[in-house]
Structure 1
Amino acid sequence: MIDGNQNPSLLSWNIREAPSTVLVRVDTVQPPRLLRSHELSAPATRPPLTHLSIYCGIIPDSDTWYIETQNPSGVTVRNVLDAIYDAFKQPFSHESFNTLCPKTQTIVLNTFHARVRAAGAPDLSRAVWEEGIQRGDCLMRHSWFGGLSLSFEGRPDMENTCILSVRRIDDEANLPSPTRVVPSPFRSE
């Protein structure tokens, strides 16, 4: 962690955006930069694991939702980022949507409509509209990668499992994103 930085992760990433937008901050002097190929191909864990489960308790339709990634040569940083991104691109069912309270439904719908508008061209907007609501839309404004933690240490039933942390950013206007769609959590306290 970098002293004085509010983001617990050195990675700046809106998990609704492709992993190619992930920025890394190596110190407080240099500006954040994209992850390099050798960093993406590095093992995600030490020691390297061939299978990693990521517990995700932030989606309303499941109390025990896991993101799974595996690689016979050892799970890499790219494998983890791709698995997280792909998991949040999954459809959010009508049945699950109907279980949300009306206020949350409105916020999820607003997030979905903002994603459709951000697609730009009419043909792209239509394609996004037809895909429907995704799990990532249910994150609302809590979509910034906050890191992975091993809070299940000492529990054999949870071996090779970590917890996904996400962050909310409130001050969207002053925090640029790599894609200029949403803010970056890199800021000083």
Structure 2
Amino acid sequence: MKFEGVKVPPLPWSILTGMVAAFAMGAARTMTSTEELLAKNLALKVAGFVPLPGAGHWGTMQSIKPALAGGLFFALALGAGVGVLGFILGRLGSLLGKNAKLFIIAACALLPIAAFLGGDALLGVTLAVALLYSVRYSMSAPPPEPRRAVALLLSLLILASPLAVVLKSSTGGFETVRNALIKSESTRGI
């Protein structure tokens, strides 16, 4: 089935690109770390120590469930944000002209390069794929109408407003969200 003339708007496509790339990275990273943890636990058991998590969790650790959960976490935590960043930078580049496009693409390459220099090749590849593809796709889209651009910007600000609580936290965003989830009655059964 071929869809001719159907073009996906740049924001959803950028978010989807970021989420797919981050899901693949998160699943691979979680699967590797789970396999290493299982091997360490089995070695501890053979040595006569009590490993944590215990043997009741080994079946889950041998399945694909942790990798899928890790992929979902990375897709939502990293992928969506990188996709939105790529979209914003791409639209900015398309509005500012040709010289700005080259500068923005070069600036976007700095994040993957920093990840590579930090020794995390998998993160570097993920950032390169998600960010650079999102930027290029967003730059190639026709410029938005001013009303739609303002409406989109306001929508993004409203969607991002819950982050103010996380960013304001003195202990860091991760701990704030984690503690809220741990203390919540509705998430205890998960």
| TM-score (structure 2 length as normaliser) | 0.27
| TM-score (structure 1 length as normaliser) | 0.27
Structure holding more helix per residue: 2
Structure (1 or 2) with the larger CA radius of gyration: 2
